Amino acid sequence: MKRVYKTLKEMFDLLKLIHSLDRSMIPLYIITSFSQAVEPFITIIGNAMIIDSLLLHDWKQAMMQAGVMITGLFIFGILHSYLMKKKECASMAINRKCNGKICLKAISLDYATFEDKKNLEEFEAADYNVSRNGGFGMYLLELSNMLTGCFSFMFAIGFLVNLCLMESQRGTPFDFLTSTKGSLIIVTVIMVLLIFLYMRFSKYVNQNNLKLYYEMVDVNQKLGYFSNRLCSDEKVAKEIRLYHMKDMIYTEWKKFTMEAHQFLSKQWSFERLSLMTSSFLNDAVLLLAYLFVVIKAYAGAITIGSFTQYVGSIQQLNDGLRKMAEAVNQLIVKQSYLSFYIDFINKENQMDTGTLPVEKRNDNEFEIEFHDVSYHYPGSDMYVLKHVSVKLDMKNHFAVVGRNGAGKTTFIKLLCRMYDVSEGMITLNGIDIRKYDYEEYLNLFAAVFQDFALFSFPIDENIACSRDADEKRVWNVLDCAGMKERVEKLRDGIHTLLFHQMGDGVDISGGEAQKLAIARALYKDAPFVILDEPTAALDPISEYEIYSHFHEMVKNKTSIYISHRMSSCRFCDDILVFDQGELVQRGNHEALLKDTNGVYATLWNAQAQYYNDHGSEEVLPDSCI
Ligand SMILES: Nc1ncnc2c1ncn2[C@@H]1O[C@H](COP(=O)(O)OP(=O)(O)OP(=O)(O)O)[C@@H](O)[C@H]1O
């Protein structure tokens, strides 16, 4: 009972959602289902009347009845195809709207919530079920089938009750069976038997289908990775070719395809068996029903024309019930698919977004301090930052250095509030950053991350992150980032489209992409500028030029550079040295070098030695080769 209530509630919620997306949708489906259910009865009644007229040799009447029937079918045919087309367009529109809602939700979630593996899986499931697994269009189709079945069933019941009321005038051995009371009992028994059969089978089939669906989620996800990422993503195309990974990938793909096929075979054989069993039992009950109508006709309670009418009604009753049972079964399955969508769009952000406005200051006097901050990523209990306490004095230029995995990027992500600290606190001008309005707090930072992204939009929109870019400023920051000359030569200047996803755009090199990302950070004109490995893809001249321009542009801001090129640290006022998640040293270049055993001196010397060797080949240990 609890499950029935839950299913009905889910159905109600989905209908409410569909109604909120398109108010004409539900009335449209009700009218279509009604017209679909009525259509066969026009033929059933028409045929019965024509047969009776023909038996009475009333040709004129028969012709008229045929004319009315054909006109009725014609009108219904036109109405039906109009409604079907309208329904098709409306359901496509609703799927598009839902897709839009998924996208909007995904890009509105805070970074930590979005990055959570469970949420990413839910996003994929929601997107898959709406875009590729039928979505709301299929759900509405099943709903329409259920309604059609329901209407057919009700009309057929009306006819059968009428049949029950028709008593025989002449005495036969079947008097009880042909009496109203006996007929009602028989019709009720037949109906109960049919309903019972369909209910039992749909429940059985439904449970099994759901079980198989959940078993298939995992293999579908893996197949999705192979077909969506490995076969069509240009980012992996080079490696696949260069390292001859084609056979390895194809073998793995075949393995998962086989697994999926096995699941489907299991499902097909199960469905075949259950279909055969239910068909057999169903035909047995139908035979009983036909027998009953034959007895009624034999007893003279109905005419030959009526006989065909009641036989047709029984068929409609059976079809209606089958349609209802199948549709209910499908609705439950589809409902559970769509529940991924509902769960995803109702997902709440994990981070507290705060309400305190960030003070507007033209003098950029913002000071951030880490107070004994520790952090571990969600789903892991290993701390990647441990007890970090540091004050980022205003308008200073900081360098953050350390070995790979030391926690530098994580430190920056906490600073930009991509995640909230696990322990300790970060303050902005003395107040916990969690108390500030999240959007306003983010306005304080312009960052270029190691894995920065550019979009298939025009260059000016990539830089301004808006459709209304200030052209003069765009050219200015392009100049500072060393990209002005290159962009000037492009077909449409700053309006040139990047990449090819949104049209015929241009491709740019890794270094050029990095320069555009730097230009974007400069355009934001935020009080804190953060560059995580900002010049890794740049040639030495570009690197030198960017640094010279950059220092000029950020002189009234606080800037933070993460770089493995130790020489760039020399330009910074303050260097933060991280090791295994801890802030182990802090100071300027000269002061840090004095601690000859310190991490900074070790990193510096390792790199200096490499350059001092004047191009002598670095000898790798055997184990690396
Ligand atoms: N999203 C994540 N989920 C779980 N662990 C992560 C995640 N991102 C980073 N880590 C782990 O946190 C540790 C610190 O990573 P971080 O990226 O901060 O290092 P880093 O000092 O910037 O390294 P690099 O110099 O290689 O860029 C690493 O051990 C890494 O495996």
Predicted local confidence at residue 223, as pLDDT: 82
Mean per-residue pLDDT for 286-304? 81
The residue whose C-alpha atom lies closest to atom 17 belonging to ligand 1 is 409
- Best residue for ligand 1 mutational test, from 410, 533, 561 (most atoms within 8 Å of Cβ): 410
Q: Is the pLDDT of residue 171 over 70?
A: no
pLDDT digits (tens, 9 = 90+) for 520-550: 999 999 999 998 886 666 777 777 777 767 7
Mean per-residue pLDDT for 93-113? 90
The DSSP 8-state label assigned to residue 174 in this structure reads: T
The residue whose C-alpha atom lies closest to atom 19 belonging to ligand 1 is 405
pLDDT digits (tens, 9 = 90+) for 342-385: 889 998 888 888 899 998 887 778 999 999 999 999 888 999 99
Predicted local confidence at residue 442, as pLDDT: 95
Ligand 1 atom at minimum distance from 413 CA:
18
Mean per-residue pLDDT for 397-422? 95
Query: What are the sequence ranges of the domains in the chain?
Result: 1-346, 452-526+539-556
Predicted local confidence at residue 296, as pLDDT: 78
In short, whether 206's Cβ falls inside 6 Å of ligand 1 is no
Q: Confidence class of residue 622 from pLDDT cuts 50, 70 and 90?
A: very low
CATH assignment of 1-346? 1.20.1560.10
Q: Is the pLDDT of residue 329 over 50?
A: yes
Q: What is the mean pLDDT of the chain?
A: 86
Under 8 Å between Cβ of 15 and 34: no
pLDDT digits (tens, 9 = 90+) for 235-274: 788 788 888 898 998 998 899 899 888 888 887 887 788 7
Relative to beta strand 423-428, strand 397-402 is unpaired
Mean per-residue pLDDT for 42-56? 90
Q: How many residues does the structure list for the chain? A: 625
The three-class DSSP label of residue 582 is strand
Amino acid at 182: G
Q: Is the pLDDT of residue 286 over 90?
A: no
Mean per-residue pLDDT for 162-191? 76
Under 8 Å between Cβ of 481 and 518: yes
Q: Is the pLDDT of residue 140 over 70?
A: yes
Predicted local confidence at residue 466, as pLDDT: 94
Percent composition of the chain: helix, strand, coil (DSSP 3-state, to 5): 65, 10, 25
Predicted local confidence at residue 611, as pLDDT: 62
Q: Report the run of H or E that residue 426 belongs to, with start and end.
A: strand 423-428
Predicted local confidence at residue 119, as pLDDT: 84
Relative to beta strand 528-532, strand 558-562 is parallel
Share of residues in the chain with pLDDT > 90 (%): 40
Predicted local confidence at residue 509, as pLDDT: 87
Q: Is the pLDDT of residue 315 over 80?
A: yes
In short, whether 407's Cβ falls inside 6 Å of ligand 1 is yes
Range with lowest mean pLDDT among 95-104, 153-162, 223-232, 471-480: 223-232
Under 8 Å between Cβ of 467 and 474: no
Q: Confidence class of residue 69 from pLDDT cuts 50, 70 and 90?
A: very high
Q: Confidence class of residue 615 from pLDDT cuts 50, 70 and 90?
A: very low
Does 1-346 match 452-526+539-556 in CATH topology? no
- Within 10 angstroms of residue 389's Cβ, the number of other Cβ atoms is 11
Q: Is the pLDDT of residue 172 over 70?
A: no
Nearest partner of 600 among 573, 569, 572, 571, judged by Cα: 569
Q: Is the pLDDT of residue 584 over 60?
A: yes
- Within 10 angstroms of residue 328's Cβ, the number of other Cβ atoms is 22
Q: Confidence class of residue 458 from pLDDT cuts 50, 70 and 90?
A: very high
Show the tokens assigned to 611.
């350059």
Provide the b/e sequence for 176-207 (b: ≥16 CB within 10 Å). Answer: ebbbeebbeebbeebbebbeebbeebbeebbe
Q: Is the pLDDT of residue 617 over 50?
A: no
Predicted local confidence at residue 73, as pLDDT: 92
Predicted local confidence at residue 610, as pLDDT: 66
Mean per-residue pLDDT for 9-29? 89
Tell how far the Cα of 247 is from the centroid of ligand 1, in angstroms.
Answer: 32
Ligand 1 atom at minimum distance from 380 CA:
4
Predicted local confidence at residue 484, as pLDDT: 94
In short, whether 413's Cβ falls inside 6 Å of ligand 1 is no
Predicted local confidence at residue 123, as pLDDT: 86
Q: What architecture (CATH level 2) is domain 452-526+539-556?
A: 3-Layer(aba) Sandwich (3.40)
Predicted local confidence at residue 613, as pLDDT: 55
The residue whose C-alpha atom lies closest to atom 4 belonging to ligand 1 is 377
Under 8 Å between Cβ of 519 and 477: yes
* Residue predicted with more confidence, 486 or 130: 486
Predicted local confidence at residue 174, as pLDDT: 67
Nearest partner of 507 among 515, 522, 493, 496, judged by Cα: 496
The residue whose C-alpha atom lies closest to atom 9 belonging to ligand 1 is 410
Ligand 1 atom at minimum distance from 402 CA:
21
Taking the CA atoms of 298, 301, 305 and 309 in sequence, report the sign of the dihedral they define: negative
The residue whose C-alpha atom lies closest to atom 12 belonging to ligand 1 is 384
Ligand 1 atom at minimum distance from 411 CA:
18
Show the tokens assigned to 518.
């730097």
In short, whether 384's Cβ falls inside 6 Å of ligand 1 is yes
pTM for this prediction: 0.76
